[in-house]
Amino acid sequence: MSELDLEEMYAVAISVAREAGQIIRDAFDKEKEVDTKQSAADLVTESDQAVEKMVNSRILGKFPNHRFIGEETTAVSGEKHQLTDEPTWIIDPIDGTTNFVNSIQEVSFSLGIMVNKKAVIGVVYAPIKDEMFTARLGKGAYLNGKKLKASKITDLKQAVIITEGGSSRDIKVVEDKVKNIHTLITHTRGIRSYGSAAINLCHVAAGRGQGYIEYGIHIWDFIAGALIASEAGAVVLDPTGCDLDPLRRRILCACSAEVAKGLSQILTHLDMGSD
Amino acid sequence: MSELDLEEMYAVAISVAREAGQIIRDAFDKEKEVDTKQSAADLVTESDQAVEKMVNSRILGKFPNHRFIGEETTAVSGEKHQLTDEPTWIIDPIDGTTNFVNSIQEVSFSLGIMVNKKAVIGVVYAPIKDEMFTARLGKGAYLNGKKLKASKITDLKQAVIITEGGSSRDIKVVEDKVKNIHTLITHTRGIRSYGSAAINLCHVAAGRGQGYIEYGIHIWDFIAGALIASEAGAVVLDPTGCDLDPLRRRILCACSAEVAKGLSQILTHLDMGSD
């Protein structure tokens, strides 16, 4: 893949993110038709589907040989994903659908591009706040064009960690997540929850908090944000401390290797299957 | 207290909020000198103290007979408060000090004025986002001049509830809070945590989520936000469902009576003493 091809893909990524943002913004204050997926807390709206359809057609119109993984397409087909070496556009049309439905501002469009199974471009656009987070592999991370730098904190006791209750209502999963919340409150300066994995990763990239841990999310929730965070100097791993497996449905992100190690050691690691 | 007096107090409140916001904004991206109070997660900075000193002098210069309750003055004196019928300005110079220290944007200046033991004016200014939330008793609540309206949701299962781990590291307190987090995840669409009581109440006022519950906070954290929320149509109560006692260190706020009742019934009510 040439530098020129990547430039073109990056430009298209930004352009569809802006277009997606406009759709989200237009629908944000209106009444929404809501449907549920895996649980009563796992929601989908017409806007999720409209954004995904638009992005899919824009990308395949421009790059007919590229692959596409979208949250809502997957929810309908239920298929497992096989990452290939082909350029693959991975999108979450609205990350933070519960926020979107409940008029909470942390909603985002997330788009990651993988080539040879490696993330090379990440774009997360939070349209209500007009925050465009972008990263290209090896070229740093930016918020509305301004370079991002993760926090320098190394002491877990001084860290604020983002985590989520999540949408699963499986009794054991909720129990384990609550146990981790308890552990985090005890060992850190506190926890925060914003309801969007993509935005959570961008927060760590922007130095707004020192870490983020979540089990049960999907590749489309985190692949763009993970590149943005790591390009801002954060550490992105599997929660056990191994390399991140993008299909493994869990992520640990921390501003420093020390905070990452501390988190990995104190948490109960949930196995949520793979995408 | 005449309408004219209240008008003048309201104008002064807005003016000191803007001045406080400027101090907070100027210090936000700089290195901070941090001290701890009750626990390693209970922080105070020079900026908290600088804002409180400025506001104290502005108010007493203008209204020498008014009373003043400030978070940091109280932290130093350790005295218990006796609410009187006199006009009393109650301020939290930086609500969300942990956020401030950790460069998380949800920080606010909170100012409530009580007359005859009743909140009559509430101002919460979030300077990083330039959001000025205001309310006067009986006159509605506003964000940057735009009228606020709480969410219309009545079904707890559809509600997103804001709550916090808080700064206490007392083992029993943390256990009970985590138990409540578990209960909330199970019975609602999800939880959110932003780390500022004043902003949490303003979020409910603005329809960004359906409720907020916290134990262990103080009158200066919530008195302004509580008026803003109730003037936006939200219900503000003691978590047990009784009338709010402003010195009782706990609050339940919900967009509707139904959500409030549902929350009150499922939660474990912590007794955190009184201010």
Domain edge (last residue) among A147, A176, A193 = A147
Tens digit of pLDDT for each residue in B7-42? 999 999 999 999 999 999 999 988 777 887 777 777
Phi (first) and psi of residue A162, to 5 degrees: -90, 135
- What ipTM, to 2 d.p.? 0.95
Question: CATH number for the domain including B190?
Answer: 3.40.190.80
A273 within a domain of the structure (yes/no): no
Residues from chain B that touch A192, judged by Cβ atoms under 8 A, are 104, 193-195
Q: Is the pLDDT of residue A155 over 90?
A: yes
Closest partner residue to B191 (CB to CB) among A165, A182, A184 is A165
DSSP designation for B240? T
Name the DSSP letter for residue B169.
Answer: -
Question: 């006692």: which residue's tokens?
Answer: B245
A165 and A104, same domain (yes or no) = no
Total domain count, chain B: 2
Q: What is the mean pLDDT of residues A209-217?
A: 97
| CB contact (8 A) between residue B103 and residue A181 | no
Residues A252, A226: Cα–Cα separation, whole Å? 9
Query: Which of B147, B174, B198 is a domain's end point?
Result: B147
Task: At B3, list the tokens.
Answer: 């309408």
Q: What is the pLDDT of residues B90-117, one digit of tens each?
A: 999 999 999 999 999 999 999 999 999 9
| Better pLDDT: B70 or B173 | B173
Residue A241, phi-psi category: left (phi > 0), alpha (psi -120 to 50), beta (remainder): left
Is B273 within a domain?
A: no
Pair (A119, A165) in one structural domain: no
Of B130, B147, B164, the position where a domain reaches its end is: B147
The reply to whether A109 and A142 lie within a common domain is: yes
pLDDT tens-place string over residues A59-112: 999 999 999 998 877 766 767 777 899 999 999 999 999 999 999 999 999 999
Closest CA relative to residue B143, chosen from B134, B153, B152: B134
The answer on B217 and B130 residing in a single domain is no
- Nearest-neighbour CA in chain B from A165: distance (Å): 6
Categorize the per-residue pLDDT at A236 as very low, low, confident or very high, splitting at 50, 70 and 90: very high
Q: Report, in this order, helix, strand and coil percent for chain A, each rounded to 5.
A: 40, 25, 35
Coil, strand, or helix at residue A211? Answer: strand
Inter-chain contact B102–A195, Cβ cutoff 8 Å?
A: no
Determine the structural domain holding residue A172 and report its residue range: 156-266
By the CB < 8 Å criterion, does A41 face chain B? Answer: yes
Q: Quick check: A19 pLDDT over 90?
A: yes
Residue A127 and residue A253 in one domain: no
Phi, psi of A79 (to 5 degrees): -75, 155
CB distance A67 to A89 below 8 Å: yes
Dihedral angle computed from the Cα positions of residues A167, A172, A174 and A180, in that order, rounded to the nearest 10 degrees: -130
A173 touches chain B (CB under 8 A): no
Task: Tell me, yes or no, whether A271 lies in a domain.
Answer: no
Q: Which residues in A lie closer than 8 A to residue B98 (C-beta atoms)?
A: 160, 189-190
Could you tell me if B29 and B117 lie in one domain? Answer: yes
Contact across the interface for B182 and A186, Cβ inside 8 Å: no
Alpha-carbon gap, residue A26 to B255, rounded angstroms: 24
Residue B271 lies in a domain: no
Task: Tell me the backbone φ, ψ of residue B253, rounded to 5 degrees.
Answer: -130, 135
Q: What's the one-letter identity of residue B170?
A: D
Say if A99 is an interface residue toward chain B (CB within 8 Å). yes
Q: Is residue B79 part of a domain?
A: yes
What's the mean pLDDT in A154-178? 96
CB A225 within 8 A of CB A208: no
**To the nearest whole angstrom, how far is the Cα of A143 from the nearest Cα of chain B?**
15
Q: Which two tokens stand for residue B197?
A: 């009581």
Task: Judge if B69 and B108 occupy the same domain.
Answer: yes
Q: What percent of chain A has pLDDT over 90?
A: 84
> Three-state SS string across A20-46, please?
HHHHHHHHHCCCCCEEECCCCCCEEEH
B124 and B188 co-located in one domain:
no
Per residue in B43-96, pLDDT tens? 778 888 899 999 999 999 999 999 999 887 776 676 777 789 999 999 999 999
Say which CATH number the domain at B108 has. Answer: 3.30.540.10
pLDDT at residue A75, rounded to an integer: 66
CA distance B119 to B136: 8
